[in-house]
Chains A and B, each alone.
Chain A
Amino acid sequence: MLAYIIRRLGYAIPILLGVNLLTFALFFVVNTPDQMARVQLGDKHVSEEAIEQWKAQRGYDKPLMFNTEAGGLGLVTDTIFYEKSLSLFAFDFGKSDEGRNIGSDIQQRMWPSLMVALPTFIIGIAVNIAFSLFVVMFRASVFDTAAMVLCVVLMSISGVFYVIGGQFFFAKLWHLVPISGYLTGPDAIRFLILPVIIGVISGIGGGTRLYRTLFLEESGKDYVRTARAKGVPELTVLFRHILPNGLIPILTSVVVVIPSLFMGSLLVESFFGIPGLGSYTLDAIQAQDFAIVRSMVFLGSVLYILGLLLTDISYTLVDPRVRLS
């Protein structure tokens, strides 16, 4: 097991290197430091000195990938790629264009993101499983068909509309919760209710439909038929046989997103003014602060790869037949 995990983490290195190369190519080769300086300084007629100064301050005045002037290791290390991209491997995110430390920003902003994403994730799964079990109980009936049509309808509504609609009805019209904002401590709950509810509702359509298929697949298997033939009541079949076995594919399929919960949601956080990583990223995109975007891309990739690893481990935990090799 431990050997497997270590080997998998080793596989992650070339992938992360690829991610870095790709983002580096996107950010620096297509969009040179000169252009970045021009955009940041915000003037078409900036003097050359101002650009040079801007670049020197932020360490963009080095060659991109190979420094032919520096000898020895400096050939590779004294370059923008090494300093800006490879240092990410040590989780050294450097400074944003405004001069703030990205690493400490991330540490600070990760908690509000988690406060929204974690309840949404857990409640969402619970609600979806409950709904899909309910639908499976009435399978092949009018109720089943109606529920599935409703799911497709819910899936066809853009996430933006859930947020807009929720804010409009719950906050503006009925004054149940504040429209947006965030507080630390116990007061945060008032601000978190709406984003969590909206997050859960917007996922119901797709989630219920997927889980229903998984449960239906399980309910067609031989052991379920045997249980019914033995005269086991339908409810017991559902909760004792179908549910535990149906949970296996559900759990293994959701594990991959758990680490990424830290990243938060761009949409929800910016609409509700929650100072998490999602809104951090969005602000950076809008301010064209590539240092932050690059760090977030790297962080997102690391968390995704971690999620893949967790998925594999979860297979062995829930299903003893699976062996990692």
Chain B
Amino acid sequence: MTFPRFSDFSMFQPMLLWSDILIFILLFSLIAFFINLSRNPVARARWRHVFTTRIGSGAFIVIVFYVLIALLDSLHFRTALPPVEGSDGAISQEADGTVHYSQDVRSVLDIILHDLDSQDEKTYSAPFALYSFAKENQESDAGYVIRAFPRLEHGGKHIVRDEEHVLDIWVKTARAIGLTILPCLLVIFLHSAWRRRKPPVEHPLPWTVIYTTLTILVLLCGWVLNLSQYYHILGTDKVGQDVLYQSIKAIRTGVLIGTLATLVTLPLAVVLGIAAGYFKGKIDDVVQYIYTTLNSIPGILLIAASVLLIDVYIETNPEQFKLISERADFKFIALCFILGVTSWTGLCRLLRAETLKLSQLEYVQAAHAFGVGDWRIIFRHILPNVNHIILIALVLDFSAFVLAEAVLSYIGVGVDPSMASWGNMINEARAELARDPVVWWSVSAAFILMFVLVLAANLFSDRVRDAFDPRSVHGRV
């Protein structure tokens, strides 16, 4: 075995898209937020309430799973182009040492998925299929030209005789599950043994649910990673791309649109809402005017109009976007921003009303009487008491944004068509479902992946609301 020479490291060029930077900033601030939160005993007790429910911890694990995939897909790089024929060296390099990189941006997730994106077929093919979905002119053994379903180039190419097909799928499934379930069981056994040696806690986490959810997720990963090497598990789409690959890549789009758009609403709603409720008077009038005006414009039209403008901007300034992925990324961030700007008004109104109420309470009046400054009162007395409203709204917004992406992409004002997203997959479903026989796998894949994420987020937000809303039973810690 030889060590790579230094120049081989230039095979990869790490690449940061703007959305990658934002998502990692978001990740770190979330971690900081939770560390900060864990110092607060009341907040800790409430979070415990969320996680001691079976639904709460199960949904949380699913969400974390999606987020992890999104993060893996956010580590981007570009590979160096292969050398021009006749020159030596492993990569294409000029005399002065500049390396030419490929135009397509890849991510760590692509490597984990075994280059599924390069295994394209010609057109549609059903899940696990050996043959293409569309007939082609072929030359038979006798020399005639016949119309028949051609064999796929990549899907199930190891199968020699068609009869082996079903058996092969079962054997591979059994092997994949057998290989992954053993380590899982071992880890679960060790962990529960270790847990039993510790003194029992008052509100134990629902470990059965946690173990089951984790095991299912790990088994699913193992099965998918294993079988996707041999088959197109979810079939291929119109241009022969693997549907599984696309729907997994769409996870990043869905998760990012949910989190980034929520992140945009947050400062607008919090600053304006609290300022209006606390300072009243002129500021209140202005803030109320702004959100009534924004609210009265039909949201989807405002979003559509803004997205069209972004399109025009990109069209007129092509020199700013050298790569397709850079253009798609710019449009994507703009979309998150637009979604955020058009939907902060609900939270703002809630915060304004709550702040109005809080600022009349005795302890705030007392703080005033002691001569505490406005900013200090807001940060020490108002903000901690509206935290639960912000938190509940944030989790609810997340699933709303994920759902909105599908509708927007359908209307044609969503993410860039070159970017994998569930909305874009659904968009094509209209033509696919009109075919005979029906092409159902693409839309089903988008449906299931999106449904699981949104369901998990909705269930989780329910638990958070139960635990944090002072009106609910658990809120009174």
Contacts and interface: CB of A to CB of B under 8 A. Distances in A.
A296 B300 CA distance: 11
Contacts of B297: 19, 22-23, 297, 300-301
Contacts of A263: 298
Interface string B289-328: 1101111111011101110110011011000000000000
A160 interface: yes
Contact of A285 (B294, B403, B413): B413
Given A168-B433, A285-B411, A293-B301, A156 B399 contact: yes
Given A26-B306, A263-B298, A18 B289 contact: yes
Interface stretch (A27-35, A48-56, A91-99): A27-35
A286 interface: yes
Nearest to A44: B315
B426 interface: yes
Contacts of A30: 309, 312-313
B426 A160 contact: yes
A172 interface: yes
Contacts of A27: 305, 309
Interface in A250-301: 260, 263, 266-267, 270-271, 281-282, 285-286, 288, 290, 293, 296-297, 300-301
Main secondary structure of the interface of B (DSSP, over half): helix
B301 A297 contact: yes
Given A15-B293, A156-B454, A158-B450, A26 B312 contact: no
Contacts of B412: 285-286
B399 A304 contact: no
Contacts of A118: none
Contacts of B306: 26
Contact of B305 (A161, A168, A271, A297): A297
Interface in A140-182: 152-153, 155-161, 164, 167-168, 172
A266 B300 contact: yes
B447 A266 contact: no
Contact of A288 (B302, B308, B411): B308
Contacts of A300: 296-298, 301
B120 interface: no
A194 to B, nearest CB: 15
Contacts of B447: 157, 161
Interface stretch (B154-162, B255-263, B370-378, B455-463): B455-463
The 5 closest A-B pairs by CB, nearest first: A300-B298, A18-B293, A156-B455, A301-B296, A156-B454
Interface of A: 14-16, 18-19, 22-23, 26-27, 30-31, 35, 39, 152-153, 155-161, 164, 167-168, 172, 260, 263, 266-267, 270-271, 281-282, 285-286, 288, 290, 293, 296-297, 300-301, 304-305
24 contacts: A22-B293, A26-B309, A30-B309, A30-B313, A31-B309, A39-B312, A156-B399, A157-B451, A158-B407, A160-B406, A164-B426, A164-B430, A168-B438, A263-B298, A270-B411, A281-B301, A282-B411, A286-B412, A293-B301, A296-B298, A297-B301, A297-B305, A300-B296, A304-B295
Interface of B: 289-290, 292-298, 300-302, 304-306, 308-309, 312-313, 315-316, 399, 403, 406-407, 410-413, 426, 429-430, 433-434, 438, 443, 447, 450-451, 454-455, 458-459, 462
